Structure 1
C-alpha cells in the first residue's frame, strides 16, 4: 500500500507539471495580440514575466531588484535547467570565488553565466517586446533546443532597464499613431516630441552610466551585476530606421586593456549570429561605428569586469513605430525588428552554451592575471589626504566601494618615483601615512587601470564618445601613479571629530572645498540658519582658512536660540563636515567677521529652463543636481510659456545648453537683461553662453567663429592650394582635426573670485568642443586656458590650437546683477565630481 501510495503521489505530481506545461501561454495568448501588432505597456511586460515564474517555477525565478525614480519595478529573470535552478546561490558564490572576490573553493560543476539587458534606451523599445518571446522559448518545456543550451548556462535577463523612458515613448506613440501604424515617414507618429523616450526620468542616457552609476537604475542594477559577474553580457539597442542590424565584432578603437581572448570571442559570437542572419537573408554589418573604448557602455564596462561585452543594434528606434517606409522602398515593421532581436538573443545563448567551458576557463584566467600579473605601466595609485580633500576623498571611496575596488591607506611615509597628475610629469613624490592607496594587485585591477590611468592609448581616433575620464581629474584630487608596487594598509586613519569644547561659540567655521560643503550649506538654509561667507582668506587660532569659508555666527540667528547649536552640529555630522568653533569675531589676519568682506548668503530662488530647444541631457544633469545631489528646490520653467513668467519671482535663472533663438527673441532677451540689471543672476552653460556671445550688452565674444575663421581658411588655401585636393574617403579623419573629444584640460583660475572658491589655482575641465570664447575686456575672466593647458584625451591639431588663450569660466556684472558664463559643463553626465562645487559656487556664492 505504501508503494502504491508513493507511486500515486509521483503520478499526481507529473500530471500537475504536465498540466502547467500545457497551460503555459505564449506572449500572444497572454497579451491578447501577436507581438508586433502593438507596443506593450511596461506593466504588462512585468505581468508576463511574473506569470511565467508562477507557471514554471522549476525553470525561472524573478527578482524585483529595485524601482525607478517614477516608482516602476526593475526586474531580473533567472532561467536555468531543472538541475541548476535550485543551486543558483551556490553557482553565484562559485563564480565570485573564481574571480577572487569571495573566498573558498568552487563546489560542483560551474555553468557559464549569460546576462542580457533590454531597452536601456526607452524609445529603443523593440527589445522589451523581443524578450517576451525569448523568455517563453527558454521556459517552454517542449523546446528541446533551449533545454539543451540551459544545461551549461544560467541566463539572467533584464526585460526593461529603463521603464520610465520606455513608458514615456510607448504612451506617446499610442496616443498619436494611426490605426495599425502609418508607414509614411512624415506621419506624426514618427516624430517624438521633446525630450523623447530615450533617457530616464532625469533625462540621463543610462547607456553612458554603467561605470559612473549616478542614476538610481544604474546603482541598483550594478549592485546585482557585481554579485554575479557574468562571463557574457549582451546589450540590445536600436539605431536609425534606415540601418539594418549590427552585431559584433566591434569597431576600432578597442581599449588596450581588452584581452586577446575577449577580442577573439567577439568574432566567435559574431559567427553564431551571422549564420542565423544569413539563413534568413537579413542584412547586417559588423566592425563599424560601435567601438569598445569609452568605459561606461553596456559592452565596455562588463568587458572591463571580465565578460565578453557586446552591443546589438536593430534599425528602427523611436522613429520606426509599428511600420516605417524606408528610402529603398521596403517597409520596416515592428514584427521584423522583434524577429531580429529574438534570433540574436538565441544565437548569443547558443554561443555561450557551446563555449561554456572555454568561457569559464578564460574568466578564471582573467581574474587570476588581475591578482598576480596586472597590466599597464602603473601598479599603484596614491591620493593625497589633507584637510581640503576630505569631501572629495569621501566621494571617491564611496565610488570605489560601489565598484568593489579594493583600497587602503599608506600606513607610513615613504618616497617614490611617480607620475604627478597635477603637472603631467614624472618626479619624486612623498607618500604620507594617511594617503589613500589603490593597488593594481586585486580582482578589479583591469577596471582600476581603465578608470585611473593618466592616458588611455587610442588606437584609432574615430571613436564614438569622450576619450578621457581619469578619476583623479574627475574627483579633483592630488594624485600620483607609481610604477612600483605599494601594498595598502587596512588600518583606516582616525576621523577628525567635531570636538567643540565651547558650548555656545561666537561662530562656527566650515571649510568650502567639496559638494559635501554645498549640501551642508543648502540644508542649513532649509532650516532657516543664516550663513555668511568670507571673501578673503584669514587666520584664526593658528589655522589658515581659505576664501569661501562658511561662517555661522550667533548674531543674526538669535531667533533660533539654543536650537542653533544642535542644528548646526547635527547637520555637520550628517554630511561629514569638520567644524571649528570661534569665541570671537576677531581674526589674527584677514577680515574680521563684521567686515564687509564677510557676506551674508541669501537663499536664492532658482529657476531652470526646460523644454523644446533645450538639450534634454544638459537640463537633466542640472535638475538631478538640485533634486538628488544637494536637495535644493528648483522651479523648472518651460520654453513654451517662458514669455509669461514673472522673472522677479526668482533670483537665479539657469540656461542649460540648447538653441535659444526662438524662446529668447529680441523682446524676451531684453526682459531678461532688465531682470539681471535689477539684481538677477543669469547662468548660461555651453551653447547657451554661445547664444549670448556677441549680443548687445553681453561682453562675451566667440573666439574662433565667423569672419575670422573664414579668413584663416582662405589664407591657408592661398598658401597651399593643394589643400583643396582632399580624398573623399578621408573626410571623417579630416573632420576630426577640428574636434576635441571629451579631453581634460587644466584651467587656470583666479582663486580670488567666488566662482573659483575651494579650488586653488587649477580646475580640471572635461572639454568637448573647440568653440570657445575670447578673454573679456569688461568682466572677470575667472577660468582660462593658456598656451599649454592640455592634460589628456584626443584633441585634433586645429582644435588644440583654438583652445589656446580661451575663456572657459567668466562672470560679467550687469547693473545690480550678474551673468555667469560656463563654456564647460561642470555637471557632465553627473560623474565629473570636480565640477559640482564649481556649479554650487555659481548658484550660491557669485553675486552675493
Structure 2
C-alpha cells in the first residue's frame, strides 16, 4: 500500500476560550505548512486520546516514546536508570538522520566548547545547537508531560523545509517525564476522580489531591531543588546524559497558581547569582521575545519580570546558567485536573498543555536562530571561568575527612555528578594552624572545567543586591557536611592521585576476645553497624565519657559515645559473638577494637559510665498538619542511607494504635491531636526508653501533649517607619528567613553530639522558629553562636532574634530541633544529631524542657 501524505495548515489563532473540553491534535502543533508522516503514530492512534483530553500516565509516556523511536529514524531513545519505584527514566535524542549518523562526532565537538584550550579551533557556523527540554519535574504539574507527546510527535512526523532545517541545525534532547513516580501518581488520581459529566467545581475531589501530593517523588522530595545536590536517582541519572551533552539552551516546564498568567524567564532582575557568566540575562531577555510572540498570537497575557528568580543554582532553570547555558523557566496556570473554574476563571487542561507546547516550539525557533550566538556564549563562558580560576587568589580547597570515609563518599558523589575531580593529599601539611594528614585529607583544585560549580558549592555568601528570594540564600556544601576544610592560595606540591572512588576503611577484622569489643561512631557508617548488631540481638552499651585502655603496652583513647559489646552479656558463646561481628562489619568498614581485660585507666569497662541502649523502633507521624518534605528527607535518611525501617503512621490511626511497639516517634509539622490522643501520647512518653523527636513547629504539639513547656521567642517591639502599600508588599525579605547557614556552639558531652569532633556545628535555618532561653540546665546542647551568620541573607532584626538562642533541646520524653537536621538530604553534619537522638535516646537528660 502506497503512503498517503497530507498537508495540514494549523490555525494557531484558535481562541483559548473554547467551549470544548477536548481538542484535535492540530491544536497542539506549531503554525506552518508541513506534511505529517502517516507511518508515525499520533498520540491518539497509540494511546487512544489526544493531548489534554486525558492525563497521560508515565507508563503510557514510556511506551509512546519507545514507539516513536522505533518508527522514526530521527530519534534515539535512551533509558538511564530507574526511580525508587522502579520506573525507567527515558530520554529522546532527536536530530536529522545525517546528524544521528555522526552523533558521536557532534557530541565530542559540543564538549569541546567547554575546553578553552581547544574550543577556538571549532567552526561555530557548522555546529548544531544542542537544546534540552525537561517536562513536569513536579508530578502534579502535568501539562508539561502531556505537551511532550505533541512536541515529540511533531519532531518525529513533520516533513517540510522548516522541520528539515530544525533537524539539520539542532540536536534536541527531550526528557518527557522528569518525575515518573509523581506523574504516575497524579495521573491515577485525576483520572480516577474525574466526573465525565464535566464537574468544574474547584472543591471537587478531582482537584483536591490529598497530601503528600504527587508534586514530589517517592520520598516526597522536590526534585527541582536537587540539580546541584544530586541526591535522588531521578537527578543523578539525568545528569549523566546532561553532562555528556552540555546543552546550550535548557527549558524547564512548570505550573503555578490556577488564575495566574503564563510566566517565562528572565524573572526578577535584582536576585542574581554573581557567579553566573556575564551576558546571561541579555540572552535570556532576547529569547523571551520568541515566547512573547507565541503567547500573544492569540491575545493571551503573560509576565516575565516578577516572582521568580535564578538565585538558588539547584533548580532546573538556574543550574544550566553555571554551565554557560541559558536556562528558561516556564510557569503556566494549572488546571490541577481536567477543567475547573477558580474564582470565576475557567481553566482548561487542553489550553494549559497548548501553552507548554507553544513555548516548546518558540524555544526551538529561538535556539535555531541564535544557534551560533548560544554556542559562542558557552565557549566564552568557559574561557571566562578559566581566566577567573587563573587570576583568583584561591586556588583550591583542602578537606580533612577525619576518618569518616562514609562522609567522604557522599562528598565524592556530589562532585562526580558535576564531573568535578577530587585528589588525594600528597603529604601532611599544616594550613592556618590546622593539621591535614595525607591519609585522610583531599585536595579540590579550582582550576577545573566546572570552576563555577566548585565555587558555588564552596563559597560562603554574605553580599546580596536584593533581599527577596524565591528559594534559599545559602547552600555551602562543606558546611552542610561539617567538614574541616580550608581554602588554599596554592596547590603546588599538594595534589596526589585522582580519587576514582572511596572505598571503606578496610580495617582488619578484630581478633577474638572473650571480654568485649569497642568501636567509635566517628564514621557515619557506624550507625549501619550499630543497627545491624542490635537487629541481630546483640546487647549494646555506650560510654558517656572519654576513656583509655591499655593493650600490648600501648594506650588507646576512645571518645564520647564509644560503643561497647560486652561478650559475657550476649547469652551466646564468645566464638559466635566474634563471628557475628565479622559478618556484620562487612569489608572492615568500621574499626573494631578487641579488649582482653575489663581494666581501664580512667574507669573500667564494668563502670556505670557504660550504659545500655536498645534498638530503635521508629514511627513517623504524617497526616493533617504534617510537613511532608522534611519528613520525607528523614524517611530517606533512615531507609536509604542506613537501611533502618521506620513506620509511616497517619495521625488518624493514633486513637486505636498500640504505641507499645514503638520507642521513637518523629513529629514534624503543626499537628493538632484530640485530648484523648494527647493523653495517650503523654503516657507513652513516660515509659522508659521512649522519646519524641520533634522538629520546627512541632514544639507546639509537644506542649499540647503536656511533656514540654516551650515558648517561641517574642520579637522586641520596635516602632517601624510607616510603609506605603507598595513598600509593605515587597518587604517580605526583611521579615522572613529564606534559608541561611548559622554557626552553633555545642556541648560535645551530650549524647546528641556523640561522634562530632569539632567544637561547632553548622545549622541550616529556614523559617523564623526561634525558641526563648531555657530555665532548665543541661537541656540545650546546641545553641546559635553569638555571631552566628556564616552564609546567607539575614536581616538585622532576624540576626538579633537568633543570636545566642537555643537551637536543640534534649530532656524528659523529647528531643526538639528548631531546624531541619537533614535539609535536602545533604545536611549530613546535623543528620548525625538526628541519628544520635534515635540511638541514644535513653541517655538524654531527664529534666523537663522548659523555656522562659
Common fold by TM > 0.5: yes
- Offset at 1:636? 1.5
Mapped to 2, the partners of 1:650 and 1:99 lie a distance apart of 54
User: Could you give the per-residue CA deviations for residues 315-354 of structure 1, whole angstroms, max 9, x where no partner exists?
Assistant: 1163xx2122244x44221111111110111111111122
Gaps of 5+ in 1: 1-10, 417-426, 718-722
Which residue number in structure 1 is paired with residue 407 of structure 2? Answer: 392
User: Could you give the per-residue CA deviations for residues 704-752 of structure 1, whole angstroms, max 9, x where no partner exists?
Assistant: 2xxxx5xx43xx33xxxxx352111111443332222211111111111
SS in 2 for 1:668: helix
- Are residues 1:39 and 2:85 paired? no
| Structure 1 range deviating more: 63-72 or 157-166 | 63-72
Matches within 5 A, 1:44-59: 44-56=60-72, 58-59=73-74
| Structure 1 range deviating more: 195-204 or 575-584 | 575-584
Which residue number in structure 1 is paired with residue 686 of structure 2? Answer: 677
Alpha carbons of 1:94 and 1:560: their partners in 2 closer, same or farther (altered >3 Å)?
farther
Alignment partner of 2:44 out of 22, 28, 44: 28
Matches within 5 A, 1:262-661: 262-316=280-334, 318=336, 321-327=337-343, 329-374=344-389, 377=392, 379-385=394-400, 387-413=402-428, 432-434=437-439, 435-455=441-461, 457-484=463-490, 486=492, 488-491=494-497, 497-499=506-508, 502-504=511-513, 506-540=515-549, 541-557=554-570, 559=572, 561-574=574-587, 576-589=589-602, 591-656=603-668, 658-661=669-672
Gaps of 5+ in 2: 6-33, 844-852
Which residue number in structure 2 is paired with residue 422 of structure 1? Answer: none
Alignment partner of 2:759 out of 758, 761, 774: 761
- Offset at 1:175? 2.1
Mapped to 2, the partners of 1:765 and 1:824 lie a distance apart of 7
CA contact (8 A) 1:60 1:77 kept: yes
User: Could you give the per-residue CA deviations for residues 18-77 of structure 1, whole angstroms, max 9, x where no partner exists?
Assistant: 999332222233322232222122222222111111111x11111111222112221101
Alignment partner of 2:178 out of 161, 168, 176: 161
Mapped to 2, the partners of 1:551 and 1:106 lie a distance apart of 63
- Offset at 1:138? 0.7
Alignment partner of 2:710 out of 678, 697, 700: 700
Matches within 5 A, 1:767-778: 767-778=765-776
Mapped to 1, the partners of 2:163 and 2:593 lie a distance apart of 66
Which residue number in structure 2 is paired with residue 842 of structure 1? Answer: 837
- Offset at 1:569? 3.5
CA contact (8 A) 2:226 2:315 kept: yes
Residue correspondences, number: 801
Mapped to 2, the partners of 1:513 and 1:504 lie a distance apart of 23
- Offset at 1:141? 3.9
Mapped to 2, the partners of 1:694 and 1:351 lie a distance apart of 58
Mapped to 1, the partners of 2:149 and 2:573 lie a distance apart of 59
| Structure 1 range deviating more: 59-68 or 98-107 | 98-107
Which residue number in structure 2 is paired with residue 191 of structure 1? Answer: 208
Alpha carbons of 1:229 and 1:568: their partners in 2 closer, same or farther (altered >3 Å)?
farther
Mapped to 1, the partners of 2:555 and 2:226 lie a distance apart of 44
CA contact (8 A) 1:699 1:778 kept: no
User: Could you give the per-residue CA deviations for residues 485-541 of structure 1, whole angstroms, max 9, x where no partner exists?
Assistant: 557523379986524573447433322124222122122323333332211111234
User: Could you give the per-residue CA deviations for residues 578-637 of structure 1, whole angstroms, max 9, x where no partner exists?
Assistant: 333333232223x32211111232112111111222112122112111111110111111
SS in 2 for 1:404: coil
Mapped to 1, the partners of 2:742 and 2:833 lie a distance apart of 15
SS in 1 for 2:271: strand
- Offset at 1:270? 0.6
| Structure 1 range deviating more: 495-504 or 264-273 | 495-504
Mapped to 2, the partners of 1:14 and 1:330 lie a distance apart of 43
CA contact (8 A) 2:277 2:324 kept: no
Mapped to 1, the partners of 2:493 and 2:285 lie a distance apart of 38
Which residue number in structure 2 is paired with residue 150 of structure 1? Answer: 167
Which residue number in structure 2 is paired with residue 75 of structure 1? Answer: 90
Alpha carbons of 1:326 and 1:437: their partners in 2 closer, same or farther (altered >3 Å)?
same
| Structure 1 range deviating more: 127-136 or 612-621 | 612-621
User: Could you give the per-residue CA deviations for residues 423-481 of structure 1, whole angstroms, max 9, x where no partner exists?
Assistant: xxxx6666654531111110011000111012264221111111111112111111112
Structure 1 vs Structure 2 CA RMSD: 2.8
CA contact (8 A) 1:237 1:313 kept: yes
Alpha carbons of 1:183 and 1:145: their partners in 2 closer, same or farther (altered >3 Å)?
farther
- Offset at 1:186? 3.0
